[in-house]
Amino acid sequence: MNDIMMGTSLPYAERKRQGLMGRMPHKEESLAQQRRRIYRLVSAMQSPFDQHLLLRQLQEDNPVLFYELVRHHLPELLPIIYTPVVGEACQRHSDLYLRSHGLYLSWHDRDELDDIFAAVEQEVDVIVISDGERVLGLGDLGIGGMGICIGKLALYSAAGGINPARTLPLCVDVGTNNPELLEDDSYLGWQAPRVDGEPYYHFMDKVVAAIRKRWPEVVLQFEDFAGKHAANLLARYRDELCMFNDDIQGTAAVASACVLAGLQQAGSALAETPVLIVGAGSAGCGIAAMLAQLAGSTERVQLFDQDGLVCQDRAGLTPAQQPFARPAAEACHSLAALIERLRPGVLIGVSGQGGLFDEAVLTAMGEVCERPVILPLSNPTRSAEATPAQVW
């Protein structure tokens, strides 16, 4: 079946030799001809979501053609394969499920993990793993988080050249706290409240141990875990195998690069520039930590969320928030007022609150800084704090 997946590019002589005569049209297409034909089909579709579904089907049926197409049209197809369109696919994951791609590890499989991984014949270089508790800005989607793992690995192969046959998307199913999924007859994951606390971490320990046993040299990327778990899992496993958390470290690396490039254009130095990060979850704290490290101090980096400026008297401060917590006397609950007081040169949004950077906020930034760096990073698009047009 691997040869029939080549489709019409399989030479006529090979079709005959392998008993595949009549299984496909007569014409022998080159890979370039196949690519152009499929591109016309994708381009004719009016709905980005329909385009996403077609590309996912192509990825399953003919991965060679899929990556040939995506590599040649990456800027155009990037938002179709991944954000923002992948968000809807994650929300509708169970309804759209036709065949398995990757591994689903249920809480009920916790004593069978070694056998599950031993049955995977392929060698694996990169795994993207998610428990689906905080998918993009969409919240708890349970096993819908698998769509992010699939999409992220597709990008790594298309843009980074990683062999897709040596990648593995992996979804950890420990239940869901999404009431809609708990009541949805079509939901294919475990319909029970999420396992949490020590049982959760014990299960994750077993998953990581089984991965290390099967593929000791693998790169393990954690994706879309809730903030309460993300930093703990990073600290727990970072010295055990080659792993990283994309929401904490990946987002921080890209955001920091953008900040440094923007400040260079503005003629400003990071160490002298106040930074205001709106959103104090795993992404916001990860960005804050990296910028503070680059600046050599936490003093000029502040965090703001739905409860206002993150201050030292707040109950339930996480370890990642504590270095940036301000004295209680500095408490402020208005973003625009805080901008006027802090006079930041950098404003970063990772709040998941669409439109949060409204006219008052953007006007305040323009008044306190001649050339501010403004990065509304929340996704999908409807969750972005502002659009580029609004900022301009």
For the annotated catalytic residues, the residue numbers are 82, 152
Q: By the 8 A CB rule, do 85 and 45 touch?
A: no
- Which tokens sit at 392? 């301009």
Q: By the 8 A CB rule, do 306 and 235 touch?
A: no
- 134 is an annotated ligand-binding site residue: yes
Q: What are the residue ranges of helices labelled H in the chain?
A: 12-17, 31-44, 48-61, 63-72, 74-81, 85-91, 93-96, 113-118, 146-160, 179-183, 197-214, 227-237, 251-266, 282-295, 335-342, 359-368, 388-391
Q: How far is CA 225 from CA 183, 209, 336, in A?
A: 23, 19, 30
Burial code of 312-322, b = ≥16 C-beta within 10 A, e = fewer? eebeebbebbe
Phi, psi at 205, each rounded to 5°: -60, -45
Cα separation, 239 vs 142, in Å, equals: 28
CA 92 to chain centre: 17
3-state secondary structure of 116: helix
Cα separation, 145 vs 142, in Å, equals: 6
- 2 is an annotated ligand-binding site residue: no
Looking at residue 256, the DSSP 8-state letter turns out to be H
- Which tokens sit at 210? 């089984």
- 177 is an annotated ligand-binding site residue: no
Specify the amino acid at residue 158.
A
Cα separation, 325 vs 303, in Å, equals: 8
- 224 is an annotated ligand-binding site residue: yes
Cα separation, 128 vs 173, in Å, equals: 14
Binding residues: 134, 223-224, 247, 379
Binding residues for (S)-malate: 134, 379
Binding residues for a divalent metal cation: 223-224, 247
